[in-house]
Amino acid sequence: MYDGIVQDLIDEFGRLPGIGPKSAQRIAFHILQTQNFDVSRLASLLSEVREKVRFCEVCGNITEQVRCGICSDARRDQAIICVVEEPKDVVAIERTRQFRGLYHVLGGAISPIDGIGPDDLSIPALMRRLSAATEDGGVQVKEVIIATDPNLEGEATAAYLSRLLTSIEVPVSRLASGLPVGGDLEFADEVTLGRAFEGRRIVD
């Protein structure tokens, strides 16, 4: 234990995901000892990000506008919606350059152990979005691609969504296998993820 604010800083870093006590200590001392470390830039970025970044009103992706760049891009195919867990998955799929449709970001996956159910995710919003598209004479959605993580929670979420989506008669597809099981979509390399996209199958 260190005295006063140094320990406060270490504790604060330690609360961040993926940062253990040792890393927290290393980061704190890096900041303390590096003369040219731009503390004020980091501080202002932290508050700016909080102030300016929000979730797209259509898809839930992060953006500094009301709608994200993908939803406001008229060249994207409005008839295909790819459902992912997190904004980082959008980035991973965009990197493959295989997909030109729109996204829907759930904000996580169904996980009974963590007390996360369908209503804690933007699943109701997805259903509203799909029915609104049909009712308002908007673009009819021709395919919903479920691209949740290839792990237990992701599979549970995909199964739940597929069942739910049969009620509105929209074709649903899943990414082809080949993705590392138990992993995160974002960690799949571009080629593997791209192939999984190309080889996606309609769920019956």
For Zn ion, which stretch binds (CB under 5 A), given 70-78, 79-87, 151-159, 180-188?
Answer: 70-78
Radius of gyration of the chain (CA): 20
Contact call for residue 71 and Zn ion (CB under 5 A): yes
Contact call for residue 146 and Zn ion (CB under 5 A): no
Q: Which is nearer to Zn ion, 68 or 93 (CB)?
A: 68
Contact call for residue 106 and Zn ion (CB under 5 A): no
For Zn ion, which stretch binds (CB under 5 A), given 3-11, 33-41, 61-69, 154-162?
Answer: 61-69
CB of 167 to Zn ion, least distance (A): 24
Contact call for residue 56 and Zn ion (CB under 5 A): yes
Contact call for residue 58 and Zn ion (CB under 5 A): yes
Q: Which is nearer to Zn ion, 25 or 61 (CB)?
A: 61
CB of 200 to Zn ion, least distance (A): 21
Looking only at residues 14 through 53 of this chain, which bind Zn ion when binding is defined by CB under 5 A? Answer: none
Contact call for residue 157 and Zn ion (CB under 5 A): no
Strand boundaries in 30-117, DSSP class E: 54-55, 62-63, 77-84, 101-105
Q: Apex CA 35: angle with CA 30 and CA 38, to 5°?
A: 80
Contact call for residue 144 and Zn ion (CB under 5 A): no
Question: Which of 9, 10, 25, 61: binder of Zn ion (CB under 5 A)?
Answer: 61
Contact residues: Zn ion, CB under 5 A: 56, 58-59, 61, 68, 71
